[in-house]
Amino acid sequence: MGIAEVALHTMPGAFAAHSPASNLPFIADVRGRRRKRSTNSLPSNSRALQGQVRFPVSRAVECQCQRIDDLARVTDGNNGAWVKDAIDKASQDLGGDVRVLPGKGVGGNGSLNGSATAKSPPQRWKASSVEDEAWELLRESMVYYCGSPVGTIAANDPNDANPMNYDQVFIRDFIPSGVAFLLKGEYEIVRNFILHTLQLQSWEKTMDCHSPGQGLMPASFKVRTIPLDGDEDATEEVLDPDFGEAAIGRVAPVDSGLWWIILLRAYGKCSGDLSVQERIDVQTGIKMILKLCLADGFDMFPTLLVTDGSCMIDRRMGIHGHPLEIQALFYSALLSAREMLTPEDGSADLIRALNNRLVALSFHIREYYWVDMQKLNEIYRYKTEEYSYDAVNKFNIYPDQISPWLVEWIPPKGGYFIGNLQPAHMDFRFFSLGNLWSIVSSLATTHQSHAILDLIESKWSDLVAEMPLKICYPALENQEWKIITGSDPKNTPWSYHNGGSWPTLLWQLTVASIKMNRPEIAAKAVEVAERRLSVDKWPEYYDTKRARFIGKQSRLYQTWSIAGYLVAKQLLDKPDAARILWNDEDAEILNALSTNRKRGKKVLKKTFII
Ligand code: GLC
C-alpha cells in the first residue's frame, strides 16, 4: 500500500472522521458553503456520534462577537481610565518613578501624557508593570465563539479604522498566545482553538474553481454573526476561515498545520491532558496534515517545496522553493506527530514514510544548508558543472553567488542555515525563525545549534540592535528589491519582511537559548525589548537597519508581539517549561544519518527486458 492509500485507509471517510465532537456545533459558512459531510458518512466509532452533534446547527446563539468590539478600548471614552489606571499602577510600583514619553501614552493616543510627563529621565519601567499590561492586553484580544474563548485577534488597535484582516485569529499568530496561556495554566482557550481549527481543516475550499489539498489548515478565521436562516430575529455565530483565497497575494498557509501540530503537543505536555490528542478526529487531523506534506511529487529533495509567502513571510520575498522556516517547522511537526500518533493497524506505512522523511530531511539540511567560515571557503573554491554521482558541488552553485556582504559578515566563530537551496541557487540571507526553530526542533546538530547562537551573539548589532529580532538579514535593496519583491512598497529595505525587526520572535529566541542552556542571550534581548515595547504600544514590527523606528505600516497592539514577550518572560522565569516546545535529538535519526554518510555511491542495478 502506498502512503496515500495508507492515509486514506486510516481515515475512514476522511472528512467524516473529523466529527465535531462534544459540544462543537456544526456550522455553515457565511458564504453559504457547507462542509462536505453528511450524517451518513460518519464512522460508527466516532466519538461525535456520542456527543451533541447537530447538522446543521439551528440554534440562535447570543452574539458574542461584539466582545471583540467592546474590547477595542484603550484610548477613547472609558479607555482613558484604563490608561490612567495602568500609569497609576506602574507609578505605585515604582514609587512614583514612571514617565510616559511625549506622544506615547501607555496604550493611548497621547491624551494623558500631561499627567505623567513631569518626571525626568532615565525612564524606567518596572518589568512587572509591563508584564501586567501585556497580560491585560492579551486577555482583551481574546475572541469568543458561542461563549467560549477560541483564539486571539491579530491586532487590537482601537485607533485603526482599517484593520484589514488583522481583526482575525491567525493560526501562526495564536501560537505564542496559546503558549502564554498554557504556561499560565489556562488550558481552555488552547483546547478550543485546537478543536475549532480542526473543524475548519475539512472545509470545502476553492479558489477560482481549484481546491487546495485536503488537510490544509486556514491562515486565519473570523467569528461572524449572521442572521439565522428563516428567523429574522435570531442570529448565529459562524467561523469563517481564510485558506489564502482572500489573503493578499492568495498565499497558501503551509505553516498553519505544522504549527497546529506543535501546539497540540505542547498542550498535551503542559496540561497533562492527552485526551485531546487521542481523539479520533484529532488523530485524523494529524494524519491529514502529514498526508498532505508527505505526498509524492516531482521533487528531488526531501525538503517541502512551497510557493513564496507560505509562512510568517506571507508575501513575495523570494522565498519560494524550500525555505528554511517551513523545513524547520516541518521537521518539528513530524517529530511531534510521531510522538502523538496512536499505534493502530494501517498506520505503519505512514509512520515508515514519516521516519524516512525525518532522516532525509535532517541529512539534507545539516549537510547542504549549513554555512560557516570554512564552508563558505569551500563554496568559494567550488568546481562547477560536475556531472557525476560523487560531485562535491551537487547543486551546481556558482561561487560568484557568494555576495560581498557575506564575505564581510560571516564571523570566524559561528554559522547558520541559509534561507533556501535550489539548483544553482543558495539564498544566503539569514532568516531568524528558521534558524531558531532548527535549534528548537533539533534539526540542527548540537554543534550547529551553538554556532547559530554564537552568530546571533557576534552579530548582535545587526540582528538585535534596538529591538529584537530581525526577521532576516540583510535586506534586499535596489534592483534586487524591485525584481524579487515586485517593487513591494511595504517590503522596502529594512522594513516589514525585508529586514524589519519583529518583537514576536523573542519567544522563539528564548526557547532556543534555553534549550542550549544559554538563557542569558534571551534575557539580554528581552531587556532590550522591554525598554520600548510598552511605550511604543506593542508594534508589529520595527524599521531601519538598527530597528530604531516603529514600522512604517506596523500595526499597534499586535497580539503576537505582546504574547511573544510574555512567553519569553515566563520561560526565563521557569526555563524547564520550555520543554513543551522543543524536540530532543532522536537517536534513531542520528544512527541512520551516520549510515547514510557512509553510504556513498549509487549502486547500479541491472535492468532486464522481459
Ligand atoms: C502579516 C504577517 C503574518 C501575520 C499576519 C497577522 O501578514 O506577515 O506573518 O500572521 O500579519 O499578524
Tens of pLDDT along 138-158?
999 999 999 999 999 999 999
Would the CB of 557 count as within 6 Å of ligand 1?
no
Amino acid sitting at position 271: S
Residue 2: is its pLDDT beyond 70? no
Count of other CB atoms within 10 angstroms of residue 41? 14
Cβ contacts of residue 408 below 8 Å, gap of 6+?
none
- pLDDT on residue 72: 29
- pLDDT on residue 115: 30
Average pLDDT over residues 312-318: 94
Measured in Å, residue 219 CA sits from the centre of ligand 1 at 9
**Closest ligand 1 atom number to CA of residue 497:** 8
* Percent of the chain with pLDDT strictly greater than 90: 64
All cell numbers assigned to 274: 492527552
The DSSP bridge pattern shows strands 542-543 and 472-473 to be: unpaired
Strand partners, 417: 370
Separation of first and last alpha carbons in the chain: 25
Separation CA 602–CA 219 (nearest Å): 42
- Is residue 258 within 8 Å of residue 331, measured between CB atoms? no
Summarize pLDDT for 333-378 with one digit per residue, the tens.
999 999 999 988 778 999 999 999 999 999 999 999 999 999 999 9
Would the CB of 172 count as within 6 Å of ligand 1?
yes
Of 369, 296, 382, 267, give the one whose Cα is nearest residue 327.
369
**Closest ligand 1 atom number to CA of residue 312:** 9
Candidate from 167, 172, 329, 488 with most ligand 1 atoms within 8 A of CB, to mutate: 172
**Closest ligand 1 atom number to CA of residue 166:** 6
Would the CB of 541 count as within 6 Å of ligand 1?
no
Measuring CA to CA, how many Å separate 237 from each of 19, 146, 148, 229? 19, 7, 12, 12
Would the CB of 157 count as within 6 Å of ligand 1?
no
Count of other CB atoms within 10 angstroms of residue 476? 23
Helix axes 280-294, 348-364, angle to 10 degrees: 50
Residue 82: is its pLDDT beyond 60? no
Average pLDDT over residues 589-601: 72
- pLDDT on residue 121: 34
Please list, residue by residue across 214-248, b when 16 or more beta carbons sit within 10 angstroms of its beta carbon and e when fewer do: bbbbbbbbbbbbbebeeeeeebbbbbbbbbbbebe
Would the CB of 154 count as within 6 Å of ligand 1?
yes
Would the CB of 340 count as within 6 Å of ligand 1?
no
Q: Please tell me the residue having the least CA distance from ligand 1 atom 7.
A: 314
Measured in Å, residue 549 CA sits from the centre of ligand 1 at 19
Separation CA 316–CA 305 (nearest Å): 15
Residue 604: is its pLDDT beyond 90? no
Measured in Å, residue 94 CA sits from the centre of ligand 1 at 35
Average pLDDT over residues 425-445: 98
Cβ burial of 603 (10 Å; 0-12, 13-18, 19+) is: exposed
Residue with the larger pLDDT of the pair 182 and 81: 182
Q: What is the pLDDT confidence band of residue 387, given thresholds at 50, 70 and 90?
A: confident
Q: What is the pLDDT confidence band of residue 123, given thresholds at 50, 70 and 90?
A: very low
**Which pTM value belongs to this model?**
0.80
Candidate from 166, 312, 498 with most ligand 1 atoms within 8 A of CB, to mutate: 312
Would the CB of 173 count as within 6 Å of ligand 1?
yes
Would the CB of 314 count as within 6 Å of ligand 1?
yes
All cell numbers assigned to 63: 452574539
Residue with the larger pLDDT of the pair 183 and 37: 183
Q: Which helix (H) or strand (E) holds 371?
A: strand 370-372
Summarize pLDDT for 220-261 with one digit per residue, the tens.
999 999 998 878 889 999 999 998 777 777 778 999 999 999
Q: What is the pLDDT confidence band of residue 579, given thresholds at 50, 70 and 90?
A: very high
Average pLDDT over residues 53-58: 28
Cβ burial of 602 (10 Å; 0-12, 13-18, 19+) is: exposed
- pLDDT on residue 597: 66
All cell numbers assigned to 440: 528548537
- Is residue 506 within 8 Å of residue 526, measured between CB atoms? yes
- Is residue 155 within 8 Å of residue 553, measured between CB atoms? no
Summarize pLDDT for 193-227 with one digit per residue, the tens.
999 999 998 677 777 777 777 889 999 999 999 99
- pLDDT on residue 250: 79
Residue with the larger pLDDT of the pair 111 and 468: 468
Separation CA 53–CA 321 (nearest Å): 42
**Closest ligand 1 atom number to CA of residue 560:** 12
All cell numbers assigned to 272: 497533562
Q: What is the pLDDT confidence band of residue 470, given thresholds at 50, 70 and 90?
A: very high
Measured in Å, residue 157 CA sits from the centre of ligand 1 at 15
Measured in Å, residue 553 CA sits from the centre of ligand 1 at 12
Q: Please tell me the residue having the least CA distance from ligand 1 atom 9.
A: 312
Measured in Å, residue 163 CA sits from the centre of ligand 1 at 12
Measured in Å, residue 332 CA sits from the centre of ligand 1 at 21
All cell numbers assigned to 362: 535532517
Calculate Rg over the CA atoms of the chain: 25
Summarize pLDDT for 26-42 with one digit per residue, the tens.
333 322 233 322 222 22
Residue 517: is its pLDDT beyond 60? yes
Measured in Å, residue 384 CA sits from the centre of ligand 1 at 39
Q: Please tell me the residue having the least CA distance from ligand 1 atom 12.
A: 154
- pLDDT on residue 12: 31
**Closest ligand 1 atom number to CA of residue 219:** 10
Residue 577: is its pLDDT beyond 60? yes
pLDDT averaged over every residue in the chain:
80
The full set of domains in the chain, from first to last, is 130-597 (1.50.10.10)
Measured in Å, residue 212 CA sits from the centre of ligand 1 at 21
Strand partners, 525: none
Please list, residue by residue across 422-446, b when 16 or more beta carbons sit within 10 angstroms of its beta carbon and e when fewer do: eeebbbbbbbbbbbbbbbbbbbbbe
Residue 99: is its pLDDT beyond 80? no
Cis (ω within 30 of 0) for the bond into 469? yes
Measured in Å, residue 285 CA sits from the centre of ligand 1 at 24
Candidate from 173, 248, 250 with most ligand 1 atoms within 8 A of CB, to mutate: 173
Candidate from 141, 314, 557 with most ligand 1 atoms within 8 A of CB, to mutate: 314
Summarize pLDDT for 361-373 with one digit per residue, the tens.
999 999 999 999 9
Measured in Å, residue 312 CA sits from the centre of ligand 1 at 6
Measured in Å, residue 551 CA sits from the centre of ligand 1 at 14
CA angle 296, 302, 306 (to 5 degrees): 75
Residue with the larger pLDDT of the pair 5 and 243: 243
DSSP structure class, residue 213: P
Summarize pLDDT for 269-314 with one digit per residue, the tens.
999 999 999 999 999 999 999 999 999 888 889 999 999 999 999 9
Q: Please tell me the residue having the least CA distance from ligand 1 atom 1.
A: 314
* Percent of the chain with pLDDT strictly greater than 70: 77
